[in-house]
């Protein structure tokens, strides 16, 4: 019988779907380390993967593997080349958490603008009440928001920010080349947008180098707000610390880090105008259920030989399967 391995804690709805699948056996491993996964790979024909890495060495330990399904939309920690070389499709869950991430980004924008952490401390700590008379909080109404990356999440955020009275522009060279999707939001290049913006929210995948480093942060207007709910490393953390120290960045909201969890005493944690969260922008109760169900369904579809092409990030392996013999 086909064997499915679920690696990492999963919402009950996804587990129920897996356990109810006829003719499929299951191993469920809550530990998210790659080492814990290794013992189960020799039997795995389908793999649902949470946050642990999947290296080429691990792929080599899974001789029967036919489909890998990521519980999410990112796959930075998966060796895609190793899977593709074996003809194994990698599936993601598609648009299950874009609203959740956009809401979180909006929350961070608001918390940073209102200096929410300083306000909390002013009440919680003795003698802090007088902080209120410094008038540090600012309004978002009338402020300029640059959204870097204008996919589904960026577009949701644009509508939310507009409802707060913000003026929104977006930077997305790929979309700009294909045809801009929304007339209400003007397309700008990165340098122009950074120089224009009072606040920036980042919604792009990770790359080999930071998209926003010291040179880019220097373009921002003094006191700007920066929010990152995308990927750790998209914003240079060291450059961000320097910009906060120098006042170029007035406040920030950061959900993602280069190293997760970040080391104790991370430099960003010393700023009380910075709101930090543990990579939870997409982890609402609603999105967790949707992700689990879609991730398991992708794995079961792969076992049945009918993976959804819209969910596959290396579609060339599907094309190769259906190519006529030479």
Q: Can you give the pLDDT at residue 87? A: 96
Residue 91 CA to residue 70 CA, distance in Å, equals 6
Please give the average per-residue pLDDT across 69-73, as a whole number. Answer: 92
pLDDT confidence band for 323 (50 / 70 / 90): low
Q: Can you give the pLDDT at residue 113? A: 98
Q: How far is CA 40 from CA 45, 67, 130, 163, in A?
A: 10, 15, 58, 49
Name the pTM for this structure: 0.84
Q: Can you give the pLDDT at residue 241? A: 98
- Reply yes or no on whether 136 is catalytic: no
Residue 108's CB: how many other CB atoms inside 10 A? 28
Range scoring the smallest mean pLDDT among 92-96, 130-134, 158-162 = 92-96
- Reply yes or no on whether 167 is catalytic: no
Q: Can you give the pLDDT at residue 212? A: 98
- Residue 304 in contact with residue 23, Cβ under 8 Å? no
Q: Can you give the pLDDT at residue 322? A: 57
H or E element at residue 295? helix 285-303
User: Which residue in the list 30, 125, 260, 319 is annotated as catalytic?
Assistant: 260
Q: Can you give the pLDDT at residue 43? A: 96
| Mean pLDDT score of the chain | 94
pLDDT(325) > 80: no
**What is the torsional sign of CA 93, 155, 217, 271?**
negative
**What is the torsional sign of CA 48, 54, 60, 66?**
positive
* Tokens matching residue 267: 């430099």
Q: How far is CA 215 from CA 212, 219, 222, 296, in A?
A: 8, 7, 14, 43
User: Which residue in the list 50, 231, 248, 297 is annotated as catalytic?
Assistant: 231
Please give the average per-residue pLDDT across 219-238, as a whole number. Answer: 97
pLDDT confidence band for 129 (50 / 70 / 90): very high
Residue 24 CA to residue 36 CA, distance in Å, equals 21
User: Which residue in the list 144, 182, 279, 289 is annotated as catalytic?
Assistant: 279
Please give the average per-residue pLDDT across 107-127, as a whole number. Answer: 97
- Reply yes or no on whether 231 is catalytic: yes
- Residue 267 in contact with residue 245, Cβ under 8 Å? no
- Residue 293 in contact with residue 14, Cβ under 8 Å? yes
Residue 283's CB: how many other CB atoms inside 10 A? 17
Tens digits of residue pLDDT in 167-199: 999 999 999 988 887 778 999 999 999 999 999
- Residue 296 in contact with residue 6, Cβ under 8 Å? yes
pLDDT(324) > 60: no
Q: Which residues contact 77 (CB under 8 A, 6 or more apart)?
A: 51, 52, 53, 54
Q: Can you give the pLDDT at residue 208? A: 85
Q: How far is CA 316 from CA 62, 135, 301, 312, 313, in A?
A: 21, 57, 17, 9, 9
């Amino acid at each position: 019988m086909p064997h499915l391995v679920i690696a990492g804690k999963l919402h009950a709805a996804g587990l129920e779907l897996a356990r109810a699948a006829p003719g499929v056996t299951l191993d469920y491993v809550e530990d998210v380390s790659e080492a814990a996964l290794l013992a189960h790979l020799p039997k795995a024909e389908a793999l649902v993967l949470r946050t642990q890495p999947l290296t080429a060495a691990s792929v080599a330990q899974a001789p029967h593997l036919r489909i890998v399904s990521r519980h999410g939309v990112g796959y930075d920690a998966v060796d895609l080349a190793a899977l593709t070389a074996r003809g194994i499709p990698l599936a993601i869950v598609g648009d299950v958490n874009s609203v959740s991430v956009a809401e979180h980004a909006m929350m961070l924008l608001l918390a940073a603008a209102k200096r929410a952490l300083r306000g909390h401390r002013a009440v919680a700590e003795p003698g802090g009440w007088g902080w209120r008379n410094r008038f540090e909080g600012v309004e978002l109404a009338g402020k300029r928001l640059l959204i870097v990356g204008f996919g589904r999440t960026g577009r949701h955020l644009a509508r939310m920010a507009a409802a707060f009275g913000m003026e929104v522009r977006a930077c997305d060279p790929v979309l700009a080349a294909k045809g801009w999707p929304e007339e209400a939001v003007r397309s700008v290049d990165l340098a122009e947008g950074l120089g224009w913006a009072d606040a920036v929210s980042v919604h792009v995948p990770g790359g080999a180098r930071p998209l926003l480093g010291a040179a880019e942060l220097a373009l921002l207007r003094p006191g700007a707000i920066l929010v990152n709910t995308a990927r750790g490393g998209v914003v240079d953390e060291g450059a961000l610390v320097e910009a906060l120290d120098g006042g170029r960045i007035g406040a920030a909201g950061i959900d993602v880090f280069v190293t997760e969890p970040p080391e104790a005493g991370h430099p960003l944690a010393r700023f009380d105008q910075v709101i930090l969260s543990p990579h939870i922008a997409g982890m609402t109760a609603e999105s967790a259920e949707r992700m689990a169900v879609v991730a398991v369904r992708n794995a079961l579809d792969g076992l049945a030989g009918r993976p959804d092409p819209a969910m596959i990030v290396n579609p060339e392996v599907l094309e190769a399967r259906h190519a006529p013999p030479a």
